[in-house]
């Protein structure tokens, strides 16, 4: 069955709160923390779920299946966050399906009063997330890029989001003005030795929250499509078992990085596995499932925003 396209709504929030209360057995205080709202609002959402007829033996709302998938992903991979958006049907753009949910998740952190450093990767999914956001003031936070923003020809990377989010969120922001992949180790060392770049990288390394896209490493790999690696380099990585990449760092089906920090030319800040801080991947679509699965399995990511079909495929991989 094809679910209708829809933006997150009050009914979505009420359904989610109702599921957490009646099925997951959470208290209203726990629901408030989970949804990033006040206890009073959590109470109203639970009441609305009942009043609107969403709660019977099950929640009469399309998002109920998504909530079950979220719980299954959380249990399987020990996640801190999981958001599963209703799919838009076969052949639909997966980014359109997940962008509103990803935006809502990022806005949850931006609404927090205590200052946070929020690191952002690049790519179509994150650009979609930023485009789906509402304009808000969050001067208490700092937004920093996880990856360089210079393409091989010297132009700005098309899917860099740190400048784009600056138009939506009034907060200090820190781009990383260096190549996504330097031509040589010497060039990489020269860039990273510069004081401003070193400070930006250090800020990204200690970020409180991370949002990144997840790239596939098939013949349609974003690193190839965007000109950051050659087809011969892609073939070499595929021979070594590459299935995905996060912030340019390539990993295999077990989530093992194929390159060490000592030999890298990558401008991206590497996400160490099993971080205690949220590291949330925003990705969906059949070609990305192996990469998402590997990143979750290895703990490169401890949170995910994806769609229904992708979530089912990830869980089916064991």
pLDDT at 5: 42
pLDDT at 58: 43
Chunked into runs of 10 residues, the chain (318 residues) has average pLDDT values of 50 86 85 90 89 63 83 97 87 88 94 96 94 91 93 76 88 92 92 95 97 96 89 95 96 95 89 96 97 98 97 94
pLDDT tens-place string over residues 279-299: 999 999 999 999 999 999 999
CA trace torsion 88, 94, 99, 100 (10° rounding) = 10
* Short-list 247, 311, 248, 256, CA closest to 279: 247
pLDDT at 56: 61
pLDDT tens-place string over residues 10-67: 888 888 888 888 877 889 999 999 888 999 999 999 988 888 877 764 444 558 889 9
pLDDT at 61: 57
pLDDT at 36: 87
Residue with tokens 């600056």: 166
Its pTM stands at: 0.81
């Amino acid at each position: 069955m094809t679910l209708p396209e829809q933006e997150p709504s009050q009914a979505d929030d009420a359904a989610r709160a109702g599921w957490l209360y009646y099925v997951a057995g959470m208290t209203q205080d726990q629901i408030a923390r989970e949804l990033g709202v006040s206890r009073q609002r959590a109470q109203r959402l639970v009441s609305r779920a009942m009043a609107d007829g969403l709660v019977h033996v099950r929640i009469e709302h399309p998002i109920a299946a998504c909530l079950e998938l979220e719980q299954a992903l959380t249990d399987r991979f020990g996640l801190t966050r999981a958001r599963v958006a209703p799919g838009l049907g076969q052949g639909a753009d997966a980014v359109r399906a997940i962008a509103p949910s990803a935006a809502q998740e990022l806005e949850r952190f931006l609404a927090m009063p205590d200052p946070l450093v929020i690191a952002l990767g690049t790519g179509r999914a994150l650009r979609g997330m930023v485009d789906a956001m509402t304009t808000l003031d969050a001067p208490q936070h700092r937004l920093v890029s996880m990856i360089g923003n210079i393409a091989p020809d010297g132009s700005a990377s098309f899917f860099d989001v740190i400048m784009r989010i600056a138009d939506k969120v009034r907060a200090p922001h820190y781009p990383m003005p260096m190549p996504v992949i330097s031509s040589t180790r010497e060039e990489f060392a020269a860039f990273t030795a510069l004081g401003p770049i070193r400070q930006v990288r250090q800020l990204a390394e200690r970020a409180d929250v991370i949002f990144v896209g997840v790239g596939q490493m098939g013949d349609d790999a974003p690193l190839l499509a965007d000109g950051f690696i050659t087809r011969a380099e892609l073939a070499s990585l595929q021979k070594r078992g590459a299935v995905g990449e996060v912030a340019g760092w390539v990993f295999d089906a077990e989530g093992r990085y194929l390159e060490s920090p000592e030999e890298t030319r990558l401008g991206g800040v590497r996400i160490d596995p099993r971080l205690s801080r949220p590291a949330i991947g925003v990705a969906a679509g059949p070609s990305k499932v192996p990469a998402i699965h590997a990143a979750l399995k290895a703990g490169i990511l401890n949170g995910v925003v994806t769609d229904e079909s992708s979530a089912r495929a990830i869980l089916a991989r064991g």
